[in-house]
Amino acid sequence: MSPSVLLLTLLALSFAGYQTGKRRSLKIAGGKISELHSLPSFYGLYASLWCLIPPLFIVVVWLSLESSWLANSVISGLPENLKVQSNSDRYVTLNDIKNVVSGTTLGTQTDPAILNAAEHYRDLQQISRGLLSVIAIALALAGIYFSSRRINKNHRARNAVERVMTGAMVLCSTIAIFTTIGIVSSVLFEAIQFFKSVPVTDFLFGLDWSPQTAMRADQVGSSGAFGAVPLFTGTLLVSLIAMIVAVPVGLMSAIYLSEFASPGFRAAAKPALEILAGIPTVVYGFFAALTVAPFVRDLGQQFGLTVSSESALAAGLVMGVMIIPFVSSLSDDVMNAVPQALRDGAYALGATQAETIRQVIFPAALPGIVGSILLAVSRAIGETMILVMAAGLAANLTFNPFEAVTTVTVQIVTLLVGDQEFDSPKTLAAFALGLVLFIVTLILNVYALHIVRKYREHYE
Protein backbone atom coordinates (compact mmCIF):
# COMPACT_ATOMS: atom_id res chain seq x y z
CA MET A 1 0.00 0.00 0.00
CA SER A 2 1.55 3.31 -0.96
CA PRO A 3 1.76 5.99 1.74
CA SER A 4 -0.97 8.14 0.20
CA VAL A 5 -3.42 5.22 0.00
CA LEU A 6 -2.54 4.30 3.56
CA LEU A 7 -3.21 7.87 4.64
CA LEU A 8 -6.60 7.87 2.97
CA THR A 9 -7.43 4.53 4.62
CA LEU A 10 -6.49 5.93 8.00
CA LEU A 11 -8.66 8.99 7.40
CA ALA A 12 -11.58 6.79 6.43
CA LEU A 13 -11.04 4.66 9.54
CA SER A 14 -10.95 7.72 11.74
CA PHE A 15 -14.24 8.86 10.25
CA ALA A 16 -15.64 5.44 11.07
CA GLY A 17 -14.21 5.90 14.57
CA TYR A 18 -16.04 9.22 14.87
CA GLN A 19 -19.33 7.59 13.96
CA THR A 20 -18.71 4.65 16.32
CA GLY A 21 -17.88 6.92 19.25
CA LYS A 22 -20.83 9.19 18.65
CA ARG A 23 -23.27 6.34 18.25
CA ARG A 24 -22.01 4.60 21.33
CA SER A 25 -22.37 7.70 23.45
CA LEU A 26 -25.91 8.21 22.16
CA LYS A 27 -26.73 4.62 23.02
CA ILE A 28 -25.34 5.01 26.53
CA ALA A 29 -27.30 8.21 27.03
CA GLY A 30 -30.45 6.46 25.91
CA GLY A 31 -31.96 9.57 24.39
CA LYS A 32 -31.06 11.87 27.30
CA ILE A 33 -28.03 13.72 26.03
CA SER A 34 -28.00 15.93 29.10
CA GLU A 35 -26.87 12.96 31.17
CA LEU A 36 -23.61 12.76 29.26
CA HIS A 37 -20.61 14.76 30.43
CA SER A 38 -19.82 15.99 26.91
CA LEU A 39 -21.74 16.44 23.71
CA PRO A 40 -21.92 13.28 21.57
CA SER A 41 -19.70 14.78 18.88
CA PHE A 42 -16.88 15.05 21.41
CA TYR A 43 -17.12 11.31 22.08
CA GLY A 44 -16.90 10.84 18.33
CA LEU A 45 -13.87 13.09 18.09
CA TYR A 46 -12.31 11.30 21.04
CA ALA A 47 -12.59 7.98 19.25
CA SER A 48 -11.38 9.35 15.93
CA LEU A 49 -8.32 10.93 17.54
CA TRP A 50 -7.44 7.61 19.19
CA CYS A 51 -7.81 6.00 15.82
CA LEU A 52 -5.72 8.56 13.94
CA ILE A 53 -2.85 9.81 16.07
CA PRO A 54 -0.98 6.63 17.11
CA PRO A 55 -0.91 5.13 13.59
CA LEU A 56 0.10 8.48 12.06
CA PHE A 57 2.96 8.74 14.52
CA ILE A 58 4.13 5.25 13.60
CA VAL A 59 3.85 6.02 9.86
CA VAL A 60 5.92 9.19 10.13
CA VAL A 61 8.66 7.57 12.21
CA TRP A 62 8.69 4.49 9.98
CA LEU A 63 8.94 6.42 6.72
CA SER A 64 11.65 8.72 7.99
CA LEU A 65 13.79 5.74 9.06
CA GLU A 66 12.91 3.57 6.08
CA SER A 67 15.08 5.19 3.41
CA SER A 68 18.35 5.02 5.33
CA TRP A 69 17.63 1.41 6.36
CA LEU A 70 16.87 0.49 2.76
CA ALA A 71 20.02 2.21 1.54
CA ASN A 72 22.19 0.41 4.06
CA SER A 73 20.82 -3.02 3.38
CA VAL A 74 20.95 -2.57 -0.39
CA ILE A 75 24.52 -1.27 -0.34
CA SER A 76 25.68 -4.10 1.88
CA GLY A 77 24.15 -6.55 -0.58
CA LEU A 78 26.18 -5.17 -3.51
CA PRO A 79 29.06 -7.15 -5.05
CA GLU A 80 32.51 -6.38 -3.69
CA ASN A 81 33.74 -4.22 -6.60
CA LEU A 82 30.95 -1.72 -6.04
CA LYS A 83 31.12 -1.89 -2.27
CA VAL A 84 34.52 -0.40 -1.47
CA GLN A 85 33.88 3.19 -2.30
CA SER A 86 34.09 6.68 -1.02
CA ASN A 87 31.06 8.42 0.34
CA SER A 88 30.24 10.32 -2.82
CA ASP A 89 30.47 7.19 -5.02
CA ARG A 90 28.12 5.48 -2.63
CA TYR A 91 25.70 8.34 -3.14
CA VAL A 92 25.96 8.04 -6.92
CA THR A 93 25.42 4.29 -6.88
CA LEU A 94 22.45 4.68 -4.61
CA ASN A 95 21.01 7.30 -6.92
CA ASP A 96 21.41 4.94 -9.89
CA ILE A 97 19.56 2.25 -8.01
CA LYS A 98 16.79 4.61 -7.01
CA ASN A 99 16.44 5.79 -10.58
CA VAL A 100 16.01 2.22 -11.79
CA VAL A 101 13.43 1.65 -9.07
CA SER A 102 11.42 4.71 -10.01
CA GLY A 103 11.77 3.85 -13.70
CA THR A 104 13.26 7.19 -14.76
CA THR A 105 16.26 5.63 -16.56
CA LEU A 106 14.09 4.14 -19.33
CA GLY A 107 16.27 1.07 -19.69
CA THR A 108 19.56 2.91 -20.20
CA GLN A 109 20.99 1.41 -17.01
CA THR A 110 22.53 -1.94 -17.97
CA ASP A 111 24.89 -2.86 -15.15
CA PRO A 112 23.45 -6.18 -13.88
CA ALA A 113 24.68 -5.53 -10.35
CA ILE A 114 22.76 -2.27 -10.23
CA LEU A 115 19.68 -3.88 -11.74
CA ASN A 116 19.88 -6.68 -9.18
CA ALA A 117 20.27 -4.20 -6.39
CA ALA A 118 17.26 -2.28 -7.68
CA GLU A 119 15.25 -5.49 -7.63
CA HIS A 120 16.41 -6.09 -4.07
CA TYR A 121 15.51 -2.51 -3.14
CA ARG A 122 12.06 -2.89 -4.60
CA ASP A 123 11.44 -6.15 -2.71
CA LEU A 124 12.61 -4.72 0.58
CA GLN A 125 10.52 -1.61 0.07
CA GLN A 126 7.46 -3.70 -0.68
CA ILE A 127 7.96 -5.75 2.48
CA SER A 128 8.49 -2.65 4.56
CA ARG A 129 5.43 -0.88 3.18
CA GLY A 130 3.26 -3.97 3.64
CA LEU A 131 4.37 -4.36 7.23
CA LEU A 132 3.75 -0.70 7.90
CA SER A 133 0.22 -0.85 6.48
CA VAL A 134 -0.66 -3.88 8.61
CA ILE A 135 0.70 -2.29 11.77
CA ALA A 136 -0.92 1.09 11.14
CA ILE A 137 -4.35 -0.33 10.36
CA ALA A 138 -4.19 -2.67 13.33
CA LEU A 139 -3.33 0.27 15.57
CA ALA A 140 -6.20 2.30 14.18
CA LEU A 141 -8.69 -0.50 14.80
CA ALA A 142 -7.29 -1.04 18.29
CA GLY A 143 -7.70 2.70 18.88
CA ILE A 144 -11.38 2.57 17.95
CA TYR A 145 -11.95 -0.47 20.14
CA PHE A 146 -10.08 0.92 23.13
CA SER A 147 -11.69 4.36 22.97
CA SER A 148 -15.24 3.12 22.57
CA ARG A 149 -14.69 0.78 25.52
CA ARG A 150 -13.83 3.82 27.63
CA ILE A 151 -16.90 5.83 26.72
CA ASN A 152 -19.42 6.10 29.58
CA LYS A 153 -21.68 8.78 31.01
CA ASN A 154 -19.02 10.39 33.15
CA HIS A 155 -16.18 10.13 30.71
CA ARG A 156 -14.73 13.61 30.17
CA ALA A 157 -14.35 13.37 26.40
CA ARG A 158 -14.49 17.12 25.78
CA ASN A 159 -11.60 17.79 28.12
CA ALA A 160 -9.52 15.10 26.50
CA VAL A 161 -10.22 16.37 23.00
CA GLU A 162 -9.53 19.95 24.00
CA ARG A 163 -6.25 18.93 25.61
CA VAL A 164 -5.17 17.30 22.37
CA MET A 165 -6.18 20.36 20.34
CA THR A 166 -4.37 22.77 22.64
CA GLY A 167 -1.35 20.52 22.42
CA ALA A 168 -1.52 20.64 18.64
CA MET A 169 -1.66 24.44 18.72
CA VAL A 170 1.37 24.63 21.00
CA LEU A 171 3.17 22.27 18.65
CA CYS A 172 2.34 24.47 15.65
CA SER A 173 3.54 27.61 17.37
CA THR A 174 6.92 26.04 18.07
CA ILE A 175 7.49 25.56 14.34
CA ALA A 176 8.76 29.14 14.16
CA ILE A 177 11.44 28.30 16.69
CA PHE A 178 12.33 25.07 14.95
CA THR A 179 12.65 26.93 11.65
CA THR A 180 15.17 29.30 13.18
CA ILE A 181 17.05 26.43 14.75
CA GLY A 182 16.94 24.62 11.41
CA ILE A 183 18.31 27.60 9.55
CA VAL A 184 21.09 28.22 12.05
CA SER A 185 22.14 24.59 12.29
CA SER A 186 22.01 23.83 8.58
CA VAL A 187 24.01 26.90 7.69
CA LEU A 188 26.36 26.69 10.65
CA PHE A 189 27.39 23.04 10.28
CA GLU A 190 28.26 23.38 6.61
CA ALA A 191 30.04 26.65 7.28
CA ILE A 192 32.16 25.02 9.98
CA GLN A 193 33.06 22.29 7.49
CA PHE A 194 34.10 25.02 5.09
CA PHE A 195 36.21 26.84 7.66
CA LYS A 196 38.15 23.62 8.25
CA SER A 197 39.59 23.91 4.75
CA VAL A 198 39.60 27.70 4.42
CA PRO A 199 40.51 29.77 7.49
CA VAL A 200 37.86 32.23 8.68
CA THR A 201 40.24 35.17 8.35
CA ASP A 202 41.04 34.29 4.72
CA PHE A 203 37.33 34.14 4.02
CA LEU A 204 36.35 37.37 5.74
CA PHE A 205 39.34 39.50 4.76
CA GLY A 206 40.63 37.93 1.55
CA LEU A 207 40.49 40.19 -1.50
CA ASP A 208 40.30 37.52 -4.18
CA TRP A 209 37.23 35.45 -5.03
CA SER A 210 37.48 32.65 -7.58
CA PRO A 211 35.75 29.62 -6.18
CA GLN A 212 36.88 26.81 -8.43
CA THR A 213 38.13 23.52 -7.14
CA ALA A 214 40.70 21.34 -8.81
CA MET A 215 39.66 18.44 -10.98
CA ARG A 216 43.18 17.00 -10.77
CA ALA A 217 45.78 17.63 -8.13
CA ASP A 218 48.40 18.99 -10.56
CA GLN A 219 46.07 21.41 -12.29
CA VAL A 220 47.15 25.00 -12.79
CA GLY A 221 45.43 27.32 -10.36
CA SER A 222 44.10 24.30 -8.59
CA SER A 223 43.37 25.99 -5.30
CA GLY A 224 40.38 28.26 -5.42
CA ALA A 225 40.48 31.60 -3.67
CA PHE A 226 37.71 32.25 -1.18
CA GLY A 227 38.23 35.86 -0.13
CA ALA A 228 34.75 37.30 0.23
CA VAL A 229 35.60 41.01 0.42
CA PRO A 230 34.70 41.68 -3.26
CA LEU A 231 31.29 40.15 -2.60
CA PHE A 232 30.76 42.28 0.47
CA THR A 233 31.71 45.48 -1.34
CA GLY A 234 29.53 44.47 -4.29
CA THR A 235 26.56 43.88 -1.99
CA LEU A 236 27.17 47.18 -0.24
CA LEU A 237 27.49 49.07 -3.51
CA VAL A 238 24.27 47.73 -4.98
CA SER A 239 22.39 48.21 -1.70
CA LEU A 240 23.70 51.75 -1.45
CA ILE A 241 22.47 52.61 -4.94
CA ALA A 242 19.11 51.04 -4.14
CA MET A 243 18.80 53.01 -0.91
CA ILE A 244 19.76 56.26 -2.65
CA VAL A 245 16.73 55.70 -4.87
CA ALA A 246 14.36 54.23 -2.33
CA VAL A 247 14.89 56.38 0.77
CA PRO A 248 14.14 59.86 -0.63
CA VAL A 249 11.40 58.69 -2.95
CA GLY A 250 9.85 56.43 -0.33
CA LEU A 251 10.00 59.03 2.41
CA MET A 252 8.60 61.83 0.28
CA SER A 253 5.80 59.53 -0.92
CA ALA A 254 5.01 58.61 2.68
CA ILE A 255 4.98 62.28 3.71
CA TYR A 256 2.72 63.24 0.86
CA LEU A 257 0.37 60.34 1.46
CA SER A 258 0.11 60.81 5.20
CA GLU A 259 0.03 64.63 5.39
CA PHE A 260 -1.03 66.23 2.11
CA ALA A 261 -3.04 63.78 0.05
CA SER A 262 -6.82 63.86 -0.01
CA PRO A 263 -8.49 60.67 1.24
CA GLY A 264 -9.48 59.78 -2.30
CA PHE A 265 -5.99 60.17 -3.71
CA ARG A 266 -4.55 58.26 -0.80
CA ALA A 267 -6.98 55.39 -1.27
CA ALA A 268 -5.93 55.08 -4.91
CA ALA A 269 -2.20 55.81 -4.74
CA LYS A 270 -1.29 53.71 -1.72
CA PRO A 271 -2.35 50.33 -3.13
CA ALA A 272 -0.97 51.32 -6.53
CA LEU A 273 2.46 51.96 -4.98
CA GLU A 274 2.24 48.69 -3.09
CA ILE A 275 1.87 46.82 -6.36
CA LEU A 276 5.57 47.60 -6.77
CA ALA A 277 6.30 45.39 -3.77
CA GLY A 278 4.06 42.63 -5.05
CA ILE A 279 5.76 42.18 -8.42
CA PRO A 280 7.95 39.06 -8.35
CA THR A 281 11.64 39.82 -8.21
CA VAL A 282 12.30 37.67 -11.25
CA VAL A 283 10.19 40.13 -13.25
CA TYR A 284 12.28 43.02 -11.98
CA GLY A 285 15.37 41.03 -12.88
CA PHE A 286 14.18 40.57 -16.45
CA PHE A 287 13.26 44.27 -16.65
CA ALA A 288 16.67 45.27 -15.26
CA ALA A 289 18.64 43.00 -17.56
CA LEU A 290 16.77 43.65 -20.81
CA THR A 291 15.52 47.20 -20.51
CA VAL A 292 17.26 49.22 -17.81
CA ALA A 293 20.81 47.91 -18.29
CA PRO A 294 20.97 48.65 -22.04
CA PHE A 295 19.35 52.03 -21.40
CA VAL A 296 21.92 52.91 -18.75
CA ARG A 297 24.72 51.70 -21.01
CA ASP A 298 23.56 53.81 -23.95
CA LEU A 299 23.01 56.81 -21.70
CA GLY A 300 26.54 56.40 -20.36
CA GLN A 301 27.94 56.24 -23.87
CA GLN A 302 26.30 59.56 -24.68
CA PHE A 303 28.27 61.10 -21.85
CA GLY A 304 31.42 59.29 -22.88
CA LEU A 305 31.34 56.83 -20.02
CA THR A 306 32.04 53.16 -20.44
CA VAL A 307 29.25 51.36 -18.67
CA SER A 308 29.39 47.60 -18.47
CA SER A 309 26.32 45.87 -19.88
CA GLU A 310 25.77 44.30 -16.48
CA SER A 311 26.33 47.30 -14.26
CA ALA A 312 25.77 47.65 -10.55
CA LEU A 313 23.90 50.86 -11.37
CA ALA A 314 21.13 49.23 -13.39
CA ALA A 315 20.57 46.47 -10.82
CA GLY A 316 20.66 48.95 -7.96
CA LEU A 317 18.20 51.35 -9.60
CA VAL A 318 15.65 48.64 -10.23
CA MET A 319 16.10 47.25 -6.74
CA GLY A 320 15.57 50.75 -5.35
CA VAL A 321 12.24 50.96 -7.15
CA MET A 322 11.26 47.63 -5.68
CA ILE A 323 12.05 48.82 -2.17
CA ILE A 324 10.15 52.15 -2.40
CA PRO A 325 6.91 50.69 -1.00
CA PHE A 326 8.73 49.10 1.94
CA VAL A 327 10.11 52.45 3.01
CA SER A 328 6.94 54.37 2.21
CA SER A 329 4.36 52.14 3.87
CA LEU A 330 6.38 51.66 7.06
CA SER A 331 7.23 55.35 7.39
CA ASP A 332 3.63 56.20 6.58
CA ASP A 333 2.48 54.12 9.56
CA VAL A 334 5.14 55.68 11.73
CA MET A 335 4.17 59.25 10.80
CA ASN A 336 0.49 58.53 11.29
CA ALA A 337 1.31 57.43 14.82
CA VAL A 338 2.71 60.87 15.72
CA PRO A 339 0.05 62.43 18.02
CA GLN A 340 -2.18 65.06 16.46
CA ALA A 341 -1.39 67.37 19.37
CA LEU A 342 2.12 67.92 18.05
CA ARG A 343 0.79 69.00 14.66
CA ASP A 344 -1.79 71.27 16.21
CA GLY A 345 0.85 72.83 18.40
CA ALA A 346 3.05 73.63 15.44
CA TYR A 347 0.16 75.08 13.43
CA ALA A 348 -0.81 77.22 16.39
CA LEU A 349 2.67 78.71 16.36
CA GLY A 350 2.14 79.70 12.76
CA ALA A 351 4.22 77.04 11.07
CA THR A 352 3.21 76.00 7.57
CA GLN A 353 2.38 72.39 6.85
CA ALA A 354 5.78 71.76 5.31
CA GLU A 355 7.55 73.37 8.25
CA THR A 356 5.50 71.28 10.66
CA ILE A 357 6.48 68.14 8.84
CA ARG A 358 10.15 69.00 8.55
CA GLN A 359 10.69 70.34 12.05
CA VAL A 360 8.11 68.58 14.19
CA ILE A 361 6.75 65.41 12.69
CA PHE A 362 9.90 64.18 11.01
CA PRO A 363 12.11 64.48 14.12
CA ALA A 364 9.35 62.92 16.21
CA ALA A 365 9.03 60.01 13.82
CA LEU A 366 12.76 59.66 13.17
CA PRO A 367 13.40 56.53 15.24
CA GLY A 368 10.57 54.71 13.49
CA ILE A 369 11.76 55.93 10.11
CA VAL A 370 15.28 54.73 10.84
CA GLY A 371 13.81 51.38 11.77
CA SER A 372 11.92 51.15 8.51
CA ILE A 373 15.02 52.12 6.52
CA LEU A 374 17.05 49.45 8.29
CA LEU A 375 14.41 46.86 7.42
CA ALA A 376 14.63 48.03 3.81
CA VAL A 377 18.43 47.70 3.90
CA SER A 378 18.13 44.16 5.16
CA ARG A 379 15.72 43.50 2.31
CA ALA A 380 18.20 44.95 -0.20
CA ILE A 381 21.07 42.87 1.12
CA GLY A 382 19.06 39.67 0.87
CA GLU A 383 17.61 40.39 -2.57
CA THR A 384 18.64 37.74 -5.06
CA MET A 385 16.92 37.44 -8.40
CA ILE A 386 17.38 41.00 -9.67
CA LEU A 387 21.10 40.67 -9.06
CA VAL A 388 21.43 37.17 -10.45
CA MET A 389 19.87 38.37 -13.70
CA ALA A 390 21.31 41.88 -13.94
CA ALA A 391 24.46 42.31 -11.86
CA GLY A 392 26.76 39.72 -13.29
CA LEU A 393 29.19 37.21 -11.84
CA ALA A 394 32.55 38.99 -12.01
CA ALA A 395 33.93 39.48 -8.51
CA ASN A 396 35.37 42.96 -9.03
CA LEU A 397 36.68 44.77 -6.01
CA THR A 398 35.39 48.18 -7.01
CA PHE A 399 33.12 50.99 -5.95
CA ASN A 400 32.52 52.11 -9.52
CA PRO A 401 28.77 51.78 -10.13
CA PHE A 402 29.31 51.42 -13.89
CA GLU A 403 31.18 48.16 -13.55
CA ALA A 404 29.77 44.71 -13.06
CA VAL A 405 29.89 43.51 -9.48
CA THR A 406 28.74 40.35 -7.81
CA THR A 407 27.03 39.96 -4.49
CA VAL A 408 26.76 37.43 -1.69
CA THR A 409 23.36 36.19 -2.82
CA VAL A 410 24.40 35.86 -6.46
CA GLN A 411 27.37 33.74 -5.47
CA ILE A 412 25.22 31.52 -3.27
CA VAL A 413 22.99 30.86 -6.24
CA THR A 414 25.80 30.23 -8.72
CA LEU A 415 27.64 27.93 -6.34
CA LEU A 416 24.60 25.83 -5.54
CA VAL A 417 22.65 25.66 -8.79
CA GLY A 418 23.43 22.66 -10.90
CA ASP A 419 24.96 19.38 -9.86
CA GLN A 420 27.43 19.55 -7.09
CA GLU A 421 29.32 17.36 -4.73
CA PHE A 422 28.16 18.13 -1.31
CA ASP A 423 31.50 18.11 0.46
CA SER A 424 33.63 20.26 -1.83
CA PRO A 425 34.74 23.65 -0.48
CA LYS A 426 32.97 25.25 -3.45
CA THR A 427 29.56 24.12 -2.26
CA LEU A 428 30.34 24.68 1.39
CA ALA A 429 31.43 28.24 0.60
CA ALA A 430 27.82 28.99 -0.30
CA PHE A 431 26.77 28.03 3.19
CA ALA A 432 29.49 30.19 4.72
CA LEU A 433 28.15 33.09 2.66
CA GLY A 434 24.65 32.17 3.78
CA LEU A 435 25.82 32.30 7.38
CA VAL A 436 27.21 35.81 6.91
CA LEU A 437 24.02 36.89 5.16
CA PHE A 438 21.83 35.45 7.89
CA ILE A 439 23.82 37.03 10.70
CA VAL A 440 23.91 40.47 9.08
CA THR A 441 20.20 40.52 8.24
CA LEU A 442 19.38 39.10 11.67
CA ILE A 443 21.23 41.91 13.43
CA LEU A 444 19.59 44.52 11.19
CA ASN A 445 16.13 43.04 11.70
CA VAL A 446 16.38 42.63 15.46
CA TYR A 447 17.70 46.14 15.86
CA ALA A 448 15.14 47.68 13.50
CA LEU A 449 12.20 45.82 15.02
CA HIS A 450 13.42 46.84 18.46
CA ILE A 451 13.55 50.51 17.46
CA VAL A 452 10.14 50.42 15.81
CA ARG A 453 8.55 48.69 18.77
CA LYS A 454 10.13 51.01 21.32
CA TYR A 455 9.01 53.98 19.26
CA ARG A 456 5.46 52.69 19.11
CA GLU A 457 5.32 52.20 22.87
CA HIS A 458 6.64 55.71 23.25
CA TYR A 459 3.51 57.26 21.76
CA GLU A 460 0.91 54.76 22.93
Partner 1 sequence: MFTPYISLENTVNIMNNLTQTSSENTRTLSTFDMVQKSLPKRRAAEQRFRLFGLMSILLGLIVLLVLFADITRKGYTAFLQTQVRLDIYFDPAVLNPNNSPLDRSSLGKADYNALIKGALSATFPDVQIRREKNELNAVMSSGAAYELQARVLDDPGLIGKTQSLWLPASDDVDMFMKGNIDRNVEESGRRINNRQLGWLDYLTADNRIAKHFNKTFFTAGDSREPELAGIYGAITGSVLTLVGTFFLSFPIGIATALYLEEFAPVNKWTDLIEVNINNLAAVPSIVFGLLGLAMFINFFGLPRSTPVVGCLVLTLMTLPTIIIAARAALKSVPPSIREAALGMGASKLQTIFHHVLPLAMPGMLTGAIIGMSRALGETAPLLMIGMVAFIIDIPKNFIEPATVLPVQIFLWADSPERAFVERTSAAILVLLVFLISMNGLAVYLRKRYERRW
Q: Which 154-193 residues touch partner 1, going by CB under 8 A?
A: 158, 162, 165-166, 168-170, 172-177, 179-180, 182-183, 186-187, 189-190
Of the two residues 144 and 379, which places its CB atom closer to partner 1 in the complex?
379
Residue 209 has what DSSP assignment?
E
Q: 251: helix, coil or strand?
A: helix
- Beta carbon of residue 145, minimum distance to partner 1 (angstroms, whole number): 27
248 belongs to the binding site for partner 1 (CB under 8 A) = yes
366 belongs to the binding site for partner 1 (CB under 8 A) = yes
CA dist 439 and 445 (Å) reads: 10
Of the two residues 395 and 430, which places its CB atom closer to partner 1 in the complex?
430
Site for partner 1 (CB under 8 A): which residue of 149, 217, 350, 457?
350
Please, which of residues 90-149 interact with partner 1 by CB under 8 A?
A: none
Of the two residues 83 and 458, which places its CB atom closer to partner 1 in the complex?
458
- Please, what sign has the CA dihedral across residues 190, 194, 199, 204? negative
CA dist 277 and 375 (Å) reads: 14
243 belongs to the binding site for partner 1 (CB under 8 A) = no
Q: 207: helix, coil or strand?
A: coil
Within 10 Å of residue 66's Cβ, how many Cβ atoms? 16
336 belongs to the binding site for partner 1 (CB under 8 A) = no
279 belongs to the binding site for partner 1 (CB under 8 A) = yes
CA 290: distance to chain centroid? 28
Site for partner 1 (CB under 8 A): which residue of 20, 44, 438, 451?
438
Site for partner 1 (CB under 8 A): which residue of 231, 235, 409, 429?
409
Distances (CA, A) of 168 to 13, 49, 174, 181, 365: 21, 12, 10, 20, 41
67 belongs to the binding site for partner 1 (CB under 8 A) = yes
- What is the DSSP annotation of 362-430? HHHHHHHHHHHHHHHHHHHHH--HHHHHHT-S-------TTS----HHHHHHHHHSS---TTSHHHHHH
Site for partner 1 (CB under 8 A): which residue of 101, 242, 330, 412?
412
Residue 77 CB contacts under 8 Å (≥ 6 apart), including other chains: 117, 120
- Beta carbon of residue 459, minimum distance to partner 1 (angstroms, whole number): 8
**Of the ranges 18-26, 131-139, 147-155, 324-332, which one interacts with partner 1 (CB under 8 A)?**
324-332
- Beta carbon of residue 324, minimum distance to partner 1 (angstroms, whole number): 5
CA dist 19 and 146 (Å) reads: 15
Site for partner 1 (CB under 8 A): which residue of 36, 49, 56, 360?
360
CA dist 397 and 207 (Å) reads: 7
Of the two residues 383 and 403, which places its CB atom closer to partner 1 in the complex?
383
Of the two residues 28 and 276, which places its CB atom closer to partner 1 in the complex?
276
- Beta carbon of residue 293, minimum distance to partner 1 (angstroms, whole number): 12
Please, which of residues 280-319 interact with partner 1 by CB under 8 A?
A: 280-287, 289-291
